[in-house]
Amino acid sequence: MNGLFSCCFDECLMGFGEEKYLVPFTWNQLRRHYPVRLLLTDMDGTFLNSAHKASAANVAAFASLRSHGIIPVVTTGRPRQSVIDGIGPEVYERMVPHGKGPGIFMNGSVVYGLSGELLYEKHIELSDAEQLFQALDRIGCRDRVCGYNEQGIYCEEENEFNFRLHLEYGEPRPTVVEKGQLPKMKFNKIIINGTDETTDKLRATLEPQLSSGVKCVRPLTWNLEVIPAGISKATGMQVLLDHLELTRANVAAMGDSENDVDMLKKAGVPIVVANATDVAKRAAIYQTVSNDESAFAQVVNELLLAQAHSSSKS
């Protein structure tokens, strides 16, 4: 085994099982890794605090990274416009001037390149969507479904479930379409909102009825997202790596939830926030502070300390 990664492998095994030991993320841990050139960050629960806001420290850290040779990348289940609306256009402009920066959106279904150009987009096949909606009709929860694409968010009813992400997370207001229209539209992801308890039951009932062309992920405790099979933040990451001619060893990734797991497993430096779910923690090696403590800024500080230390020795 390559000596550079043997320490990381040992750390993974050290806590293998239900109670995994996570190493506190500090700059001296980076001695064991290739130089970080890309920092991927989830948004909700990671970059954003519990009030779904971006701290001034996180925004400043994101904006400063490129001048240090590290590219920051918003990596989220949201569409790009949802991120812009959620944190505010002025804040997003500080982070990604003129929109000219990479991003991985809708859990890897949409990827933008270094200049903000569209690199990749994957929709749910209409036949797979039709099977999903038939299952939702049988289950009786068609009224709490929203479809997402880069043009907007769509639902067939205005209710507390379909508008929750708009009201609490600042997502764009869903457009209400005529009943029966959603299965005919092309979406990158389709979400079903509910409560913690109903989502537990829904997943167990819905997944066996889905086609092989889609899969479920659960970014929040009270909703499910259905996305194309084979798509994840990790596949979006690979699209971006090919575009930038980098390798996974050059990637640090931050996350907190189930839809971050594949990305964390593939990244050279996988980091979870202290408030991460158990499933996300089992996919990581390192842990930093919580999302309410400007975790992103903390990680950036450690990355820059490692960079400065490396420069002083060369």
Residues 202-228 have pLDDT tens digits of 999 999 999 999 999 998 889 999 999
Distance CA 281, CA 261 (A): 8
Residue 54: burial class (beta carbons within 10 Å; 0-12, 13-18, 19+): buried
Structural domains of the chain in order of their starting residue, each with its CATH number: 20-122+232-308 (3.40.50.1000), 126-228 (3.30.1240.10)
- pLDDT for residue 25: 94
Average pLDDT for residues 271-292, to the nearest whole number? Answer: 98
Sequence-distant contacts of 52-56: CB under 8 A, at least 24 apart = 52/86, 52/168, 52/169, 52/170, 53/87, 54/87, 54/91, 55/294, 55/297
Average pLDDT for residues 264-289, to the nearest whole number? Answer: 98
Q: Which of 137, 182, 136 is nearest to 155 (CA)?
A: 182
What distance lies between CA 285 and its chain's CA centroid? Answer: 18
Q: CB under 8 Å to 29, separation ≥6 — which residues? A: 23, 286
Q: Which amino acid is at 10?
A: D
User: If you write DSSP's letter for every residue of 159-205 in order, what string do you get?
Assistant: STTTTHHHHHH-PPPPEE--TT-GGGS--SEEEEE--HHHHHHHHHH
Angle separating helix axes 295-313 and 56-64, nearest 10 degrees: 40
**Cα distance from N-terminal residue to C-terminal residue, the chain:** 26
Q: How confident is the prediction for the chain on average, in pLDDT?
A: 92
DSSP code of residue 123: P
Is the Cβ–Cβ distance between 10 and 273 less than 8 Å? no
Task: Give the CA count within 13 Å in the CB-facing half-sphere of 65.
Answer: 30
- Work out the pLDDT band at 311, boundaries 50, 70, 90: confident
- Work out the pLDDT band at 1, boundaries 50, 70, 90: very low
- pLDDT for residue 20: 67
- pLDDT for residue 204: 93
Q: Which residue has the tokens 């949409």?
A: 110
The answer on pLDDT for 305 being more than 70 is yes
